[in-house]
Amino acid sequence: MSQKKTNYLNADVELEESTPAVKKKSKKKQNKTLNTVKHVLGVIGTTFLSLFMIVIITCCIVAVTLTVYIMQFADSAFDVDLKNVDLSYTSFIYAKNSAGEQVEIKRLSGDENRIWVNMEQIPKHTQDAFTAVEDKRFYEHEGVDWKRTVRVTISTLFNGYGEGGSTITQQLVKNITGDDRVTPERKIREIFRALNLEKQYTKIDILEAYLNRVPLGGTVYGVGSAAYYYFGKTVDQLTIAESAILAGMTRSPSVLNPYANLERSKERQLYALKCMYEQGLITTDEYEAAKTEQVKFRLIVEGDAYGYKDPRYDEYYGNNANKDENSDGYDDEDTYEAYRWNEYEITQNWYVDAAIQQVIEDLSKAKGMTYAEAKADLYKGGYKIYLNMDMDIQEKLETFFKDPNNFFYSYDKTAIEENCAQAAFVLTDYRGNVVALAGGIGDKPGDGCFNRATQAILPIGSTMKPISVYGQAVDKDVINYSSMILDKCITLPEGTSWPSNFEGDYGSGGYIPAWYAVQQSKNTTAVRMAQVLGIDTCFNFLTDKLNVTTLDYTYDKAYSPIALGQLTQGMTLMELAGAYQIFGSGGVYYEPKLYNLITDYNDKTVIEQEPLGDRVMESDSAYITNRLLKAVTDTTNGSGRYAKIDGIEVVGKTGTSNDERVLAFAGLTADYCGVIRLGFDDNKNIGTTNYIYLAQVWHNFMVNVVNEDSTKTFAKDSNVVEKKYCTETGLLATSKCKNTAVGYYKADNLPKTCDSTHKDGEYVKKHGGETLLVPDWGTQKAEEDTSSTSSN
């Protein structure tokens, strides 16, 4: 090309140089016509020459300008780094199965749904499908397919549009930089970056990065998450037919994916297969087989363009009674969508719901983010979250709660079915690990729905008494196991008698032993204990030691909330479980935890939750309180007697809010602490105080949890001794005491020994001026019960 131009240019120059000679000849009056012709030719020549020079100069200027212009983009070519790109990754949730193995149970993904897969995991035919469709000279070019670029540029210039001439390398650059403006500058910059990328990385690196970043419909990015999203598979399981579907949609994934448009997706799949076949990447047999392969989609896909028809399609459309012939086959698109998502997308159990919320809150604290930011971070951070959930027990609990019939022991059937009374359950071990939880009776309405185990704040009734009052009274040596407490209401400043007991009486006026006061859940004695301890002591123990966050700092600092559990708002069931753990852990409080570890996508620890507990009471005090709770379940007349399990020690406490708003039961075995509560979400009256049957519900579930490996009894505290006490005075018995039973005492703080005179008023303790612990056998009721206890 340049050779031709040079010759022409030389000829031109010769012509110009010869011009003066021609003029001289004309002065010699030669042929005028010839002169005229020569003159005209000369003018034309000069003009042409001038024009040509202008073109050349312009070209030079343009070329220089363009070179300078392009060189500035060359600098920015070095800012693409495959090893350090801000990817958005899918997060995973794991839990242990019955064999103790970590099992993936949930994936979280937000705007970009991405699962990183290594090249070795991606089948060759999947790789080939993408190169065949998108960049057939991928392995030959150096980042840019010039032939195609020129063709596309010309086609764009003349037709105003062009096919995507980008190589896989260029597309990768576009994906990584997020620079997708349609301008010549971007294209030039992209070309330089692509060329540069090819110098720095191998084809394998580039294709791997591309296959992990390529948008494949909606929030799905990369073949790893697409394999799961469309086919419910891992990437290594993708067939040729499936790979062709993915490769076929890359041009316009939002409209060419099978969920968006099945027919167009099928067309693109066939096109991709044809490309693969023509490029010799698959055999004739493979080609023919892939064209007709029955592809099974994870979500329902209408029609049978892929030879597969989900049987549930028929089930849902049934007789097609309302089918509109002119529509796409659905009489109600919304219903169809709802069906589809309900059926397939609600895969998250109550535990996972609660765990996600806790993780977001913790990430937000750890990283100084708002809740919304932390949530977004969780869904794209590629975290791995290891739950404390016991999959086996959780599954049993979910099954148990799914069936409303399991709750009719405690409650009237219509109330549950028609009025939607609800219940929740939290089961923990004694290291703060939440083993299982359920947030509602019946079918779970959706992912992340209202969770009564962690979110409902309701009263807890008498389950309050041991955690606020009796445990503290034992720990502060106000009472021991058999201390005598006055069963008598107090007189309020305005002169009224308060409180009454559950049975409606204002107390016998006599003295009852501590274990009996707990067993019968006497309101009178609980209020008297709170009086001795002081409201602030009880309140602060709940808020500061047991981490109860929902108390009202004004209205809950009173006897009724503190001693009887009639809280202004209430507590969450999770907090109640945490509080009761101390009676099985030897007085160490562990905040209930749903997970133990969060790592990032490089498996680096983000949050690790060590089971570090806080000692909130002495271990002997915790064990003695545990024995008080045993009186509730392990006697024939205890309020929690239905919770008893054959061969397994159970201790616990019932609860009823006195205005019939909730029923509650906290039950402990040597391995687990389980709390259950029944009530309405809006805290209205449930119309019953039949507390004892909720212990039965607890029992009916817990018998599924215990087995031959379960610990049979609570470990005895080393500082606690079993001693015979005199049932008349509550003091250590002598041979002269007629009625005795066995009690549990701190070895270094034993009660005095009964002097066997059994006189009134002999062992008086004074607290705030009021006589409390006076042996007074005006009533013999307690004595009878004592003897029944001693046989247990």
Instruction: Write out the residues near Zn ion by the rule CB under 5 A.
Output: 726, 729, 737, 754
Distances in Å between the Cα of 631 and the Cα atoms of 494, 517, 639 are: 36, 10, 9
Cβ at position 743, least distance to Zn ion in Å: 13
- For 559, counting Cβ atoms within 10 Å of its Cβ (0-12 exposed, 13-18 middle, 19+ buried), the class is buried
Cβ-contact 565, 542 below 8 angstroms? no
Question: What is the C-alpha separation between 329 and 314, in angstroms, rounded?
Answer: 12
Nearer to Zn ion, 3 or 757 (CB): 757
Indicate if the alpha-carbon torsion angle 720, 637, 466, 713 is positive or negative. Answer: positive
| Nearest distance in Å: CB 755, Zn ion | 8
Name the residue nearer to Zn ion (CB basis): 527 or 737: 737
Q: CA-CA distance, 330 to 533, in Å (whole number)?
A: 69
CA–CA gap between residue 269 and residue 282 (Å, rounded): 14
CA distance 293 to 288: 9
Distance CA 153, CA 157 (A): 6
Give the strand pairing for 220-221 and 113-114. parallel
182 phi and psi angles, rounded to 5 deg: -90, 80
In the complex, the smallest distance separating the C-beta of residue 510 from Zn ion, rounded to whole angstroms, is 16
User: Which lies closer to Zn ion via its Cβ, residue 413 or residue 759?
Assistant: 759
Query: Residue 134 or 728: which CB sits closer to Zn ion?
Result: 728
Task: Specify the residue, 543 or 739, whose C-beta has the smaller distance to Zn ion.
Answer: 739
Q: In 10-36, which positions are buried (b, 16+ CB within 10 angstroms) versus exposed (e)?
A: eebeebeeeeeebeeebeeeeeeeebe
Our CB check for Zn ion shows the closer of 177 and 739 to be 739
Contact 518, 640 (CB under 8 A): no
- DSSP H helices, 368-442, are 371-380, 391-402, 413-417
Between 312 and 738, whose beta carbon lies closer to Zn ion? 738
Strand partners, 742: 724
Q: Rounded distance, CA 621 to CA 619, Å?
A: 5
Nearest approach in angstroms of CB 541 to Zn ion is 33
Task: CB nearer to Zn ion: give 326 or 757.
Answer: 757
Quote the CA–CA distance of 514 and 530 in Å, as a whole number. 14
Q: How near is the Cβ of 756 to Zn ion at its closest, in Å?
A: 5
Nearest residue (CB) to Zn ion, 596 versus 753: 753
State the nearest-atom distance from the C-beta of 391 to Zn ion, in Å. Answer: 54
Smallest distance from Zn ion to CB 516, Å: 17
Q: For Zn ion, which is the closer residue by CB, 631 or 754?
A: 754
Smallest distance from Zn ion to CB 728, Å = 5
Q: Give whichever of 652 and 743 is closer to Zn ion, judged by the CB atom.
A: 743
Q: How far is the CB of 710 from Zn ion (least distance, A)?
A: 39
Sheet architecture: strand order including 605-608 = 102-108, 91-96, 384-390, 595-599, 605-608
Question: Cis omega before residue 513 (within 30°)?
Answer: no
H/E run at residue 633: helix 619-633
Least Å from the CB of residue 479 to Zn ion: 18
Task: Indicate the residue type of 296.
Answer: K
Q: How far is the CB of 685 from Zn ion (least distance, A)?
A: 46
